[in-house]
Structure 1
Amino acid sequence: MAQDLRSIVVGYDGSDEAAAAVRWAARHARATACPLLVVHCSLWPLLTRHLGPVPGVSGSGLEQSAQSILDEGVAHAAAEVQGLEVGSTLLHGLPAQHLAGISAGEKMLVVGSRGLGGFLGLLVGSVSLELAATASCPVAVIRHNLHPDGPIVAAVDASGSPSALGDACVLATASNARLTVVHVRHQPPGYRQPAGQDAAAGAQKVLTEAVRRAGALAPALSVDGRLLTDSSIPHAILQAAENARIVVMGSQGRGILRETIGSTAHAVLHHAHGPVLISRHGR
């Protein structure tokens, strides 16, 4: 496999969730022949100027503590994948802003499902959610309960979600996994199809084309498609991804804000039991 010079960037703050993200990122970096960059963002400079060591106490001080956390993240990666090229960067300030900036143009940004806010983590999942809405590269949000032998699930909307489908093909190829493409036909409660219209045919056409395109992108993959009907699109995706090793979906929002995430992706991020990849690419 030709080496991709772009890096997999992973945020680490010392939490269990972040450790799981580092381990996942290390495995994906090995599978895609990419270097790994572990990043820790220290919040202490926002709160105090006294970062240096305590006089007479070796290895003390807030700056040294931040460096120790970063070193721990690198150690997690090295222990997970021996011989992996691992770099590290210590930044100071708000994690979402720095991680979005340092990952711009890189292969992927990987974060834990919570914890990146450090002791400000009362805003549970806020950093991961913000990055899923603002980063300019794909964002993988990692949770513990993985299904290592499950399929990659790619959720496509009426547009066919080409970027999400492409990212799913890359993931499935790298991990030698099956790819399941799902498309949900939304049917509100109590809805009755008007006579002479066949919405299912249109939805099936979207799915068939997405499966065909996945086969063209990655001919060696085992690809299947599932057409789902549900009154809730996120609910259908979550059920389809119940045993997936990761679910991949686009980030297209319908709101007036440029930096936003669609309601479906938002709901899946909050409720998925396994990892989620939000397919974001530079504008």
Structure 2
Amino acid sequence: MNSSNGAAVVVGVDGSEPALRAVRLAATEAARRHLPLRVVHGFIWPLLRAPIDPLAGNPPGGGLRQQAKNLVEAAVAEALATSPGIRVTGEIIDGEASAVLLGESPTAAMIVVGDRGLGGFTALVVGSVAIQVATHADCPVLVARGEEHADGPVVVGVDGSATSLGAVEFAAAQASALGVRLRAVRAYTHPAATRPGDIQPLVYDEALLRDEEDAVLAESLVGLAERHPDVPIDREPVHARPVAALTEASRRARLVVVGGRGHGELAGLLLGSVSHGVLHRSACPVAVVRTPD
């Protein structure tokens, strides 16, 4: 956990209910990590040349700037009610929400966002701000969605990539802090090719295949138990597509952790298709841990 350098947990707010859920989640994280919480609102109206102060003749306390101040103060109060005693500051920063949060990411311990914001289409399962921040942030991003199952495990998707290994370390640290099990899930849909040009067999032994995938999964977790001796680790190779396997696991999980990019992704796509799919379908909060460029 990043608790020694004074970095803050940062949460983006816009006055919506998903943002308040993110505030509660962020306050809990900040208390657990013994870190300050920074509540940030991206104030876009000056960029649109909209009048932000009260109009002449209107009662004092109006105007867009005052509304932004009110929602930040409400978010700070919500954080303190959730985790009394944490250090909380609030700030209004001129700019579009995604850009403001990404500007915070190089020095943040974690960024927390809601899955949707004000004005979002209800058909969009995850809003554009959450996707953009998870795609480009320089720190882990926690998206508040679904339900935290208090006794559920931290679930992490494992595919053996460098990004996946970073997600595993983050997930183990979260499981340790939460006092829950770590459930490492490796999804597979067919026998793994061992050499370029290998032809996949039409018939294969499912039990043998599962054992082989379990061995690959175990290799990805080498040394994890020694680094996190307090965390019970469950290995789970699953014959399913990755998004389906992780979505199913999320129904009983405290948190799902995914890497920002894994095997099979184009190098130019910073957020892989699995991460993107899980963000849209998970039944619990999702943390995206992206490998630095």
For normalisation by structure 2, the TM-score amounts to: 0.86
Report how far residue 68 of structure 1 moved: 0.9
Calculate the aligned-residue CA RMSD, in Å.
2.3
* Match of residue 257 from structure 1: 268
Matched residues in 2 for 1:191 and 1:184: separation?
A: 18
Q: Secondary structure at the match of 1:273?
A: coil
Report how far residue 111 of structure 1 moved: 0.4
What does the per-residue CA deviation read over 1:47-84, in whole Å, with 9 as the maximum and x for residues that have no partner? 23411123341101111111111111111101101110
* Match of residue 183 from structure 1: 186
* Match of residue 164 from structure 1: 167
1:50-199 equivalent positions in 2, closer than 5 A: 50-56=51-57, 57-115=59-117, 118-119=118-119, 121-122=120-121, 124=124, 125-159=127-161, 161-187=164-190, 192-193=202-203, 199=209
Conservation of the 8 A alpha-carbon contact between 2:186 and 2:242:
no
Is there any run of 5+ residues in structure 2 with no aligned partner, and where?
192-199
Q: Secondary structure at the match of 1:103?
A: helix
Matched residues in 1 for 2:87 and 2:202: separation?
A: 57
Is there any run of 5+ residues in structure 1 with no aligned partner, and where?
none
Matched residues in 1 for 2:230 and 2:5: separation?
A: 20
Matched residues in 2 for 1:30 and 1:4: separation?
A: 15
Conservation of the 8 A alpha-carbon contact between 2:182 and 2:234:
yes
What does the per-residue CA deviation read over 1:145-183, in whole Å, with 9 as the maximum and x for residues that have no partner? 221221101111133721101110121111111111111
The percentage of counterpart residues that share the same residue type is 35
Matched residues in 1 for 2:79 and 2:26: separation?
A: 8
Conservation of the 8 A alpha-carbon contact between 1:17 and 1:144:
no
Letter in 1 for 2:100: H
Report how far residue 212 of structure 1 moved: 3.6
Report how far residue 193 of structure 1 moved: 4.7
Report how far residue 214 of structure 1 moved: 2.4
The answer to whether residue 22 in structure 2 is matched with residue 21 in structure 1 is: yes
Q: Select between 273-282 and 121-130 the one with higher mean Cα deviation.
A: 121-130
* Match of residue 209 from structure 1: 219
Conservation of the 8 A alpha-carbon contact between 1:112 and 1:142:
yes
| Aligned partner (choices 244, 260, 264) of residue 235 of structure 1 | 244
What does the per-residue CA deviation read over 1:19-56, in whole Å, with 9 as the maximum and x for residues that have no partner? 01110111111111111111111221132341112334
Conservation of the 8 A alpha-carbon contact between 1:168 and 1:248:
yes
> In the comparison of the two structures, how many residue pairs are matched?
275
Matched residues in 2 for 1:64 and 1:191: separation?
A: 66
Letter in 2 for 1:178: R
Matched residues in 2 for 1:207 and 1:74: separation?
A: 42
Matched residues in 1 for 2:292 and 2:102: separation?
A: 11
Report how far residue 135 of structure 1 moved: 0.7
Judging changes above 3 Å, is the alpha-carbon distance between structure 1 residues 281 and 25 closer, same or farther for their aligned structure 2 residues? Answer: farther
Letter in 2 for 1:209: E
Conservation of the 8 A alpha-carbon contact between 2:260 and 2:291:
no
